[in-house]
Structure 1
Amino acid sequence: MTLEKTKKIDGEKETAFILEQIALLQGINEKPQSINFLDLAADINTKQQEFASKYAPEKWITWAAENAKNVTFATHVTKLTHSIIDSPSFFDVSKTTKNSHLSTSSLANVIIDGAVKGMQYSPVYQFLELEFNNKKLVSEFVHLDTVLLRNFTEKHEQMLAWNQGFSAASITGKPAAHFLLKQTYFPISKDESRFKYHLLCNVVSSSKAQALHEFSRRGSKDIFKIKTSNKYSNEIYFSFPNRASISITASNHGNASQLNNKRGGRLGLFSCQPPVWHSQIKPPIYTGSFFYELSRNYAVKENVQYLSDFLIRFDSLQLSIKDPKRMRWVEEWIENLVDEVLVYVKSIQALPAGWSLVDGIKLKPEHQILLDCHRQDDAFLASKNSLNWQGVIVQDFADWLNNRLVKAGEKFTPQEAHTKLWKKLFNANFREEFPAKSLNQQKGVI
C-alpha cells in the first residue's frame, strides 16, 4: 500500500482530517516505530471532548455574554489612530449631510465596525454580527426582555443574564480624549487677554474608510492582472491616481478593529487636491515650439522627473538600458510623454481652422502644419508638401526633453545617444498616430 500526500477538503473539520490520516497510516504494513497510534488516537479523542465541552452552546454563550462588555459596535474606532488607545469608540447617529462633504452620515449604507479589547473577544463580535430576521443580534439585545436565546437554556434567569451581558456591547460609553489621539486646540474666545481653546480630537471614521476601500476596489480580482498584462477585457478598470495608504498595525490587524482586519491593516489615503482649473484652450502663437506649453503639465513633470532620477543613477545611457527591464521603464516614461503630447495636439487641432494665419506668429511653420492641419490656403498647402515637418517635430521633442531633464536634475548631461533614443522612441509612437498622408488627404478627423 502506498500513502499519498493529501489535503484537507473545504468544510472538513481538522480533527476528522487527522483521524483519517491516522487510519491510513495504520493500514501500512511497516508502521513508524516512533508513533504510538493508540495513544495518539486517545489524545485526539480527549481534545475533541474538551472542545465539545468548551463550545457547548450554554457554556459558550455564558462566556460570550460575560465578555460582551469588551466589544463595541461603532462607526468611529479610536484604536485606528493608535492600537494602544483605550478610549471608548463611538457610534455616529448624526443625520446632517452636505452634498459638498463626504461624511459618515452621507453614506447610503453605513458599515458598522467592531472594536475589541483583545483578539480573544473577536468571536463575541462575530456572534453579535450574525443576523436573525434581517436584524443583527446586537440590536436584539438592546431589549433586555428578548427571548431570542430561549432555545439554549431552560432557565429563565439564565436567559435574562445573557441578555444583560450582551446588551453591554451596544453601550459605547462616554467619549474621552487620550494623549495618543491627534489633538488640535482651536481658539474660541478671548477672555482677559487670554485665549480659551476647544480641544478637538480627530477620530478616523472606520465606516467611511471601509466604504472608500470597497469603492476603490469594486472591480473583479482579475481585472488588475489583465490590465498589467495589456490584455483586453470588457470590464471597467478603476484607477485612483496619487493614492497612498497608512499601515495601522504590524500584523494583528484585528487588534485595531474588525474592519481594519478585512482591509489588511491599511487605511487608504486619497488625493484631496483641488480640481485643476481648465482655462480656454489657446493656440501656441507666441512660442517657437509647442512642446514648451506642456512643461506645466503635472503628468509631464512627473514622468520627466522619474526619467531624470533613473538616468542619474547610471554613468552612461548604455548602463541604464542594458537590462531589458530597465529599457522597458524608459520606454514607458517616453510613451507617457508622447500620450500627453498627442492629447495636447488633438485639442489644438479641434480649434477653428486658420488660427495660425495671424501677424507676428512665432510658432515654427512645421508646428503650424501639425497643429493647424485643416487650414486650406495655397501657401499653407504648399508648405505641407514641401517641408519635412515630421522630422522637425521629432527633433524638437528630443531637444525639449533634454532641456527638461537638465532642469529636473542638474547632474544630468545630455549626450548624442540620449537624443537619438528620444527621437527613435518618439518617432515610433508619433508616426503611428499622425502619418504624413493623414494630414494631406483629409480634412476632418485625424
Structure 2
Amino acid sequence: MSDNSLAEAISAYIAKRWEARLEKLEKDFDKTRKTMVEGSVELAEFNISCETELQREAQKYEPNAWLTDAAGRAKQISMVTHALKYTHTDAKGSSVLASVDEPVEHAGKWLSSASLSEPAVDVVGNAAALDVAGLLQLQDSHGKTLVSYISENTVTSLASFANSPEQVQTWLEGFKLALVDVGLSSHKLAKQIYFPVDNGEYHLLGPLFSSSVAHAVHQKIIDKRFSDEAKAAREARKSQTYWHRPTEDFFNLAVQKFGGTKPQNVSQLNTQRKGQIFLFPAMPPRWKSQSKPPASTLAFIRSFERSAAQTLRFLVRYLKNRVNATSTVSIRDMRAQLVDQLIDCFVQQAALIQMREDWSGWSDSASLTNSEKYWLDPHNPDEQFQQNRELGDWQKDIASLFARWLNRKLRKGGLNVDDGEFSEWHSLMDGKLRELERDIGGWA
C-alpha cells in the first residue's frame, strides 16, 4: 500500500493551515494600515515589519517545522472513543481510545463501540491543539488514517518531510502521546465503582461514555431526518406518490446537552453535534392485548358485549321507562333503531375475525358449533368445510344465537320478553346475514 496519497494530504493540510493563518494576518495588517496616513514614514516602516513577520510565519508553516511543532503539541490532546468529560466537564482523569482487532462475541447483540466497524475518533484536551487532531485524522486513498499508521509504527508518509530518520522517530514518539495517556487515572468527579476481588482487594472501575457510539447514532438520526433523500421520501408520502426509500421516524426522542454554551470544552465531536446527544425512550413497555381469534362461543360473546355495552344499557333503560306506555310508532321506531345498532355491532365484531385471512383454519381447534365456524372462519382452506358452508343453513343458527342472547339480557334488565320477541330478533339477524352473504360473497 502506497503512502504517497497520505503524504500529499499532509502537505495540502499544512498549506491550508498556512492559507488560513495568512488570511488572518492580512486582515489584521489592513486594519492597522487604515489608522495610518497614506505615504507616511510610519506606514512604510509598518509595511516592512509586516513583510518580516510574514516571512517568519511562513517558515513556521514549512512542513518540517510545522510537523515538529505539531509533534511537540500532540501531548496536549487525546484521541479517544470513550471520553471522561461527558461525565463531568471538570473531570481531569483519563479517557480511552478503544480499538477492536478481533470480532467481539456480543457485537451483534448489544449496541456498543464494538458494534461499529469504523468508530469515529473523538478528541479531548486543549482546544488550541485541535489542528494536530486534524492532521492525525487525515486519510490516504484507501481510507486509512495517519493515526492508524502511527499506532502501527509505520511512518513512511512522514519520512518525506523529515531531515533525518531520527527526526521521524521523534515525530512518531510525539504523536503517539495523543493516542494514550502516559498514566491512567480516575478523578473525584468521575464515575467510580469499587469492584471486590480476592483477598479483600478490589478493582477500581471507571465507566466511560462512548462518544463514538453517540456520534454514530446522532449521524444516523440526522440522515433519516434531514438528508435530501429523507426529505424527498417525506414529500412523496405527502403527495401519495411512490418513492424508492421509505420514510423513517424516531418517536419520543429526548435531547441531552453536554458542555452548556461551550461544547468544545467536552470534545471535538461534541462540538460538531453542538453539544447534543439523542436519547431513546427507556420506558417499560405498555401492555397491549394480543389479537387472536375466539377460542369458544363464550369468548366471542364476551368481546361482542364489551363493544355493545353502551347501546344495550340504553335499550334496556329506554324500554323499562316505557313498560306501561301505549305502544306508538315513535317507540317502535326507537326500539328498532337500537336493536339494529346491536345487530350491526354483532356483525362488525365478527367481521374483525372474518377479515383475518392469515388466521384461516383457526376454527378447527376452537370450541364452536359448526354453524359458528362457517360464519367466523370463511377462509378455512379445507375443501369439505367450504362445501358444507355453501350447502348449510348456518345463518339460522347464528340468528338464534343473537336472539337468545338479546332476550337473556333484556330479562336480566327486568323486562318480560318471550318467543314473540325472540322471533323478531331472529328474523332481523337472519335477514342481515343473508343480505351480507349475497353482497360480499361469503364474508358474512
Q: Under TM normalisation by the shorter chain, which class is it? A: 0.5 to 0.7
SS of 1:286's partner is helix
- Residues 60-98 of structure 1, C-alpha deviation per residue, up to 9 Å, x if partnerless? 211110111122222211122222222111133454332
Equivalent-residue separation in structure 2 for 1:439 and 1:255 (angstroms): 73
| Structure 2 segments unaligned to the other structure (5+ residues) | 1-16, 294-299, 311-348, 360-374, 378-397, 410-425
Give the corresponding residue for 2:161: 152
Residues 439 and 187 of structure 1: is their aligned pair in 2 closer, same or farther, counting only changes over 3 Å? farther
Give the corresponding residue for 1:279: 290
| Structure 1 segments unaligned to the other structure (5+ residues) | 1-10, 24-32, 292-343, 365-376, 387-437
After TM superposition, list the pairs within 5 Å mapping 1:168-247 onto structure 2. 168-184=177-193, 199-219=204-224, 220-222=226-228, 223-224=230-231, 227=234, 230-231=238-239, 234=243, 235-247=245-257
- Residues 329-364 of structure 1, C-alpha deviation per residue, up to 9 Å, x if partnerless? xxxxxxxxxxxxxxx9996663585499666589x9
Alpha carbon RMSD of aligned pairs, Å?
4.9
Give the corresponding residue for 1:70: 76
Residues 385 and 111 of structure 1: is their aligned pair in 2 closer, same or farther, counting only changes over 3 Å? same
TM-score computed with the length of structure 2 as normaliser? 0.54
- Residues 113-161 of structure 1, C-alpha deviation per residue, up to 9 Å, x if partnerless? 2333111111111101112363321232235573432322324433322
Measured after TM superposition, the shift of residue 58 of structure 1 is 2.2
Give the corresponding residue for 1:350: 355
After TM superposition, list the pairs within 5 Å mapping 1:192-341 onto structure 2. 199-219=204-224, 220-222=226-228, 223-224=230-231, 227=234, 230-231=238-239, 234=243, 235-273=245-283, 279-281=290-292, 284-288=303-307
Q: Aligned partner of 1:241: which letter?
A: F
- Residues 164-215 of structure 1, C-alpha deviation per residue, up to 9 Å, x if partnerless? 2112222244543222223455677998xxxx87654321112211222222
Residues 185 and 151 of structure 1: is their aligned pair in 2 closer, same or farther, counting only changes over 3 Å? closer
- Residues 289-317 of structure 1, C-alpha deviation per residue, up to 9 Å, x if partnerless? 599xxxxxxxxxxxxxxxxxxxxxxxxxx
Give the corresponding residue for 1:324: none
Equivalent-residue separation in structure 2 for 1:93 and 1:140 (angstroms): 14
After TM superposition, list the pairs within 5 Å mapping 1:400-411 onto structure 2. none
Contact 1:88–1:173 under 8 Å retained in 2: no
Contact 2:120–2:215 under 8 Å retained in 1: no
Residues 18 and 167 of structure 1: is their aligned pair in 2 closer, same or farther, counting only changes over 3 Å? closer
Residues 198 and 170 of structure 1: is their aligned pair in 2 closer, same or farther, counting only changes over 3 Å? closer
Residues 150 and 288 of structure 1: is their aligned pair in 2 closer, same or farther, counting only changes over 3 Å? closer
Q: Does 1:167 align with 2:176?
A: yes
SS of 2:305's partner is coil
SS of 1:148's partner is helix
Residues 198 and 168 of structure 1: is their aligned pair in 2 closer, same or farther, counting only changes over 3 Å? closer
Equivalent-residue separation in structure 1 for 2:264 and 2:437 (angstroms): 61
After TM superposition, list the pairs within 5 Å mapping 1:35-46 onto structure 2. 39=43, 42=47
SS of 1:218's partner is helix
Give the corresponding residue for 1:137: 146
SS of 2:79's partner is strand
Q: Aligned partner of 1:201: which letter?
A: G
User: Which one of the candidate residues 78, 87, 93 is aligned to 1:87?
Assistant: 93
After TM superposition, list the pairs within 5 Å mapping 1:103-118 onto structure 2. 103-107=112-116, 109-118=117-126
Q: Aligned partner of 2:150: which letter?
A: F
SS of 1:285's partner is helix
Contact 2:93–2:190 under 8 Å retained in 1: no
Measured after TM superposition, the shift of residue 247 of structure 1 is 0.6
Give the corresponding residue for 1:128: 136
TM-score computed with the length of structure 1 as normaliser? 0.54
Residues 96 and 49 of structure 1: is their aligned pair in 2 closer, same or farther, counting only changes over 3 Å? same
Equivalent-residue separation in structure 2 for 1:128 and 1:177 (angstroms): 26
Aligned-residue identity in percent = 25
**Number of residue-to-residue matches in the alignment:** 305
Residues 274 and 149 of structure 1: is their aligned pair in 2 closer, same or farther, counting only changes over 3 Å? same
Max radius of gyration: which structure? 2
Residues 91 and 153 of structure 1: is their aligned pair in 2 closer, same or farther, counting only changes over 3 Å? closer
Contact 1:91–1:172 under 8 Å retained in 2: no
